[in-house]
Amino acid sequence: MTTSLPPYDLSLDEMSVALSYVLLSSGASIPPVAAPAAPAPAAPVAPKQAPKKVEEEDDDDFDVFGDDDGEKEEEAPKESRAEMLARLKAEAVARTAAKEAKQRTLVAIEVKPWSTEQDLTDLWKKITTEVVQDGLKWGEGYQTPEVAFGIRKLCMTFTMGVNNSSDDVQEAIQAMEDEVQSVEVTSMNVL
């Protein structure tokens, strides 16, 4: 059972080294790969002379990786793939939570009362104090433009977070049936 292995690509990182180790330890042979042709140099460059170093007398200890200090540094243990994935997932969740915490929506609503004699200032105070949700903030002011025949409507704004719903706010205001005829959302803008 001979299978043809793909050519070994030297540009791959640790995964290819691990795979080649597994293949070699299992007895499979890896076909030799020709080195890729280097692109032609654009212009000849004069070689820079490196400062001359004093060669050590003991060349037996040639270190392939360039550690000539002779001291072994203790390396921190590398995290496993599962630990790395768990860490990256936790970081992504934290970034998403931070982004969602910043994301707000500005909503403008119109509240229409039943009668012309209703005090809209008291209604505004009642709405802003009774309709309370986590992440909901009412605007500091309101307007009372005239609709028709002396009837005025209450125009007000609030900001809400990602976890809030403008429908819930509308339903809470409409639950004040004795004072509120209807509630409409006039605009909704993501900040």
Beta bridge partners of 187: 108
pLDDT at residue 103, as a whole number? 83
Per-residue tokens: 146: 């005239």
Q: What is the mean pLDDT of residues 16-20?
A: 67
Segments forming the whole domain that contains residue 113: 103-190
pLDDT range class, residue 49, cuts 50, 70, 90: low
185 within domain boundaries:
yes
Number of domains into which the chain is organized: 1
- Taking residue 127's Cβ as centre, other Cβ atoms within 10 Å add up to 23
First vs last Cα of the chain: how many Å apart?
64
pLDDT at residue 157, as a whole number? 94
Do 124 and 183 meet the contact criterion of CB atoms below 8 Å apart? no
138 within domain boundaries:
yes
174 within domain boundaries:
yes
pLDDT at residue 101, as a whole number? 72
Candidate from 24-33, 48-57, 109-118, 144-153 with smallest mean pLDDT: 48-57
Q: What is the mean pLDDT of residues 68-78?
A: 60
**133/128 Cα distance (integer angstroms):** 11
- Most confident range (mean pLDDT) of 4-13, 46-55, 129-138 is 129-138
Structure-model confidence comparison of residues 122 and 99, the more confident one: 122
pLDDT at residue 108, as a whole number? 94
19 within domain boundaries:
no
Q: Kind of pairing, strands 154-160 and 137-143?
A: antiparallel
Q: What is the mean pLDDT of residues 58-62?
A: 59
Structure-model confidence comparison of residues 78 and 57, the more confident one: 78
Give percent above pLDDT 70 in the chain: 63
Is the pLDDT assigned to residue 148 strictly greater than 60?
A: yes
Is the pLDDT assigned to residue 180 strictly greater than 70?
A: yes
What totals of helices (H) and strands (E) does the chain contain, helices first?
Answer: 4, 6
149 within domain boundaries:
yes
Average pLDDT, the chain: 77
CATH number at residue 153: 3.30.70.60
114 within domain boundaries:
yes
pLDDT range class, residue 171, cuts 50, 70, 90: very high
82 within domain boundaries:
no
117 within domain boundaries:
yes
